[in-house]
Amino acid sequence: MPRPRRLVLPSVPLHVIQRGNNRIPCFTCRSDYLVYLDILRECAYDCGCALHAYVLMTNHVHLLLSPDDEHGASVLMRRLGQRYVQYFNRRHTRTGTLWEGRFRSCLVLDEDYFLACQRYIELNPVRAHMVDKPEHYPWSSYQTNALGHDSPLVKPHLAYLRLHHETITRQAVYRQLCEDALPDRLISEIRVASNGNRPLGLAAPSETTLD
């Protein structure tokens, strides 16, 4: 059975999900999170991918990024996955695979959906009942996008910057957006698109690439 086409277009945001094999934990201690983020920073820069949002859950990760070209995201995820598995296996005295096959993804085709997808990612720990407020979870870009913490990883997208021209006010506006829970319909739409490699938002573009 042929692999489904993965839609990737230069400079168009992509929501990426990578899960642990058989849902096994991918992060078991603080150093795991820190090493993953450090590798992610290096690989995103090398592969020409601007990272707008992320969350590292116990057994999977969500990334929202814009690649410079149609191959950037695939190269990024391959290098990131390989380097982190090498670290993880060495650190935890194990062998074998860590990730569940290919990563899943969807194009995010308009600004309203972009902000919804960013909130979906950063509110994931709240929906999973790991914390009661997103600011209580240290391993997500909410710390930067909503609270203004410095990050060498996060590059704000234009949709986020358009919330307000002043940084402090923009963060306040974004925090207010995150106070409102995403509708179940929208959550379902994001999940269906991401798990099926389908575009999220406007009509699907005519050009596609298969990686």
Query: According to the model, what pLDDT value does residue 102 have?
Result: 86
Rounded to whole angstroms, the Cα distance separating 64 from 22 reads: 23
Residue 181 pLDDT level (bands cut at 50, 70, 90): confident
96 in a domain, yes or no? yes
- AA identity, residue 194: S
H/E element, 84: helix 72-91
Question: What is the residue-wise DSSP string for 111-180?
Answer: HHHHHHHHHHHHTHHHHTTS-SSGGG-SSBTHHHHTT----SSB---HHHHTT-SSHHHHHHHHHHHHHS
> Structural domain of residue 93, as residue ranges?
14-195
- Inform me whether the pLDDT recorded for 1 exceeds 50: no
| pLDDT at 134 (0 to 100) | 97
Residue 208 lies in a domain: no
- Residue 31 DSSP symbol: H
Q: pLDDT tens, 38-97?
A: 999 999 999 999 999 999 999 999 999 999 999 999 999 999 999 999 999 999 999 999
Query: Distance (Å, rounded) from C-alpha 87 to C-alpha 110?
Result: 37
Structural domain contains residue 207: no
- Model confidence at 209, in pLDDT bands (50, 70, 90)? very low
205 is a domain residue = no
pLDDT of 36 higher than 80: yes
pTM of the shown model: 0.92
* Confidence band, pLDDT 50/70/90 cuts, at residue 205: very low
Residue whose token pair is 């050009």: 207
Q: CATH number of the domain at 73, please.
A: 3.30.70.1290
- The predicted structure's pLDDT at residue 69: 93
* Mean pLDDT on 137-142: 98
- Quick one: average pLDDT of 180-205? 85
pLDDT one-digit tens code per residue, 146-176: 999 999 999 999 999 999 999 999 999 999 9
- pLDDT for 131 beyond 80: yes
pLDDT recorded at residue 94: 94
What does the pLDDT read at residue 206? 45
Q: Tally the domains of the chain.
A: 1
